[in-house]
Amino acid sequence: MLEASDHPTTPFAIRVDLGAIFVSLELGKSSWLVTSLSPGSEKMSRHSVQGGDIAGLFGCFTSLRDKARAREGRLFPLVVIQEAGLDGFWIDRALKQEDWIESHVVDAASIAVPRKHRRAKTDRIDGEMLVRTLLAFKRGEARVCSMVRPPSREEEDRRRLSRERKVLVGERTRHINRVQGLLLSQGIRGYRPLRRDRRACLDELRTGDGHPLPKHLKAQIGRELDRIELLMEQIKMVESERDELAKVNDNNQCSPVVLLQGLRGIGAEFATVLTQEGLFRHFDNRRQVAAYAGLAPSPWKSGSIDREQGVSKSGNPRLRTAMIQLAWLWLRYQPDTALAQWFHEHVGARSNRSRKTAIVALARKLLVALWKYVTSGVVIDGAHPASR
């Protein structure tokens, strides 16, 4: 039999002797859910703010501070956490303008969740989980989550050029495929919508049975060509802005884009993507570089089980895609480098599957080498300069 003193008292869900007000934001299109844990309070509180109402959000924060001061007799700072999502980073920038608010943006995929087949998920549960994650992060617990380093306004604006160009090129490809598909249904092959004489060639086309193009089909293809020409003009404008931006950096020195273009096999677009998507950031070591691109290995070890799962794919997908493509080009245009020779020695006469696995490793090694080249001036062994 347990005595009365042996029965534990009702435990608090979270410690309440805090030196700050911990707040999580669940950001929706129509409303924002504010979940907070304040000093002197045993429970989390929840408040709703209309989506996009930053003034209402600050009003909610002020109310939380006033209530905490009424209980404890002093004002407390706020520590706020939100997930990286569709709202971007403007809320984080607005919060950091206030000296009494410490703001963090977390990678939602890095937060540990119950591994049940089915688990409850609501904004209320997610808000409480974010607060507990923030508390653990501030206590210094390792690997509790991965915080995102928000780019500055200038950094975010620069990388729009390469992203917009990719979207425009994709739209142009879809229109080209549509034109070629329409003509193929009439038995016509080999038409090139990107040629300068595309209009004249269209008038000369004949169907597979020797007839001119039908009236409405020709009109439809003409409208598709109008869209293609508009996209081609927009792509030229974006590329012109990209090349102008790459001439000098903020310190009036040779920009990383120009340095990368100085290597054979790296053109303007690859150099811009590598710089604006990854190499503009500060990294302490090569492991951080590989991890940011999602090219770091992910081992699976448990007991006697020891195997590799491949790369983590947890980083920047645009940078990772560009590096895989550049790795194949590197083998073609820089065959005398130590990296290319390592690839050939490692692969040898193996299957295509082994080549695909090895090219990922080459992409990781190449990214680290380019990072050292841009930041420290370490020349890649055996690399040839671009021909002018």
Residue-by-residue pLDDT tens, the chain, 388 positions: 444 444 444 444 445 467 899 999 999 999 999 999 999 888 999 999 999 999 999 999 999 999 999 999 999 999 999 999 889 999 999 999 999 999 999 998 888 888 887 888 899 999 999 999 999 999 988 889 989 999 999 989 988 999 999 999 999 999 999 999 999 999 999 999 999 999 999 999 999 999 999 999 999 999 999 999 999 999 999 999 999 888 765 555 678 899 999 999 999 999 999 999 999 888 999 999 999 999 988 888 888 888 888 888 888 999 999 999 999 999 999 999 999 999 999 887 777 778 888 999 999 999 999 999 999 989 999 999 987 6
Asked if 89 and 156 touch (Cβ cutoff 8 Å), the reply is yes
Tell me the sheet residues that pair with 47. Answer: 34
What are 75's two structure tokens? 């004002």
Q: Are 24 and 82 in contact (CB under 8 A)?
A: yes
What does DSSP say about strands 297-302 and 305-311: parallel, antiparallel, or unpaired? antiparallel
Q: What are phi and psi of 190, to 5 degrees?
A: 85, 5
Report whether 371 contacts 283 (CB < 8 A).
Answer: yes
**Within 13 A of 89's CA, how many CA atoms are on the CB side?**
19
Q: Which residues of 246-270 are buried (b: 16+ CB within 10 A; e: fewer)?
A: beeeeeeeebbbbbbbebbbbebbb
CA-nearest of 319, 345, 349 to 331 is 345
The pLDDT value recorded for residue 248 is 61
Contact 78, 64 (CB under 8 A): yes
Query: What pLDDT is stored for residue 253 in this prediction?
Result: 64
DSSP for residue 14 = S
Question: What is the structure's pLDDT at 30?
Answer: 93
**Taking Cα atoms as reference points, which of 235, 360, 350, 196 lies closest to residue 293?**
360
Q: 23 is written with which tokens?
A: 């707040």
The closest of 312, 311, 298, 299 to 361, measured between CA atoms, is 311
CA 314 to chain centre: 9
